[in-house]
Amino acid sequence: MQKSIAQALKSIILANKGKFFSVTFTKQNGEERTLTGQVGYKEGHDGENTVAHLPQYITVAENLGGGKYQHRNVNTTTIKRLAVGGSVIEVK
């Protein structure tokens, strides 16, 4: 995927302003993963994020239910599908 497409996807996610979205992406090990979450600070997540400084990554708080969240780093260059704000974007 082109870098500019990845930057555009990240901008769309950030413009969603903390609302939930769904993203399908390829993990480092080659597996495809879909998660639903939101971007924003969650209380108790004060640990060190090893890739937050890299521009192609975005940290997503995946909602596990019961008020629990798991933070996941998504490489925007591997996004295959993004459902945000009532729109679905498929990346080929």
For the chain, which residues make up each domain, given as ranges? 3-90
* Mean pLDDT rounded to a whole number for the chain: 89
pLDDT of res. 37: 92
pLDDT of res. 50: 78
Fold of domain 3-90: SH3 type barrels. (2.30.30)
pTM listed for this prediction: 0.84
Range 73-81 average pLDDT = 95
Strands ordered across the beta sheet of 57-65: 68-75, 57-65, 32-38, 21-26, 79-84, 87-90
Rounded to 5°, angle at Cα 18 from 24 and 8 = 55
Q: Which amino acid is at 77?
A: T
Please tell me the distance from the alpha carbon of residue 42 to that of residue 56, in angstroms, as a whole number: 21
Tens-digit pLDDT profile for residues 5-31: 999 999 999 999 889 999 999 999 999
More confident position, 33 or 51: 33
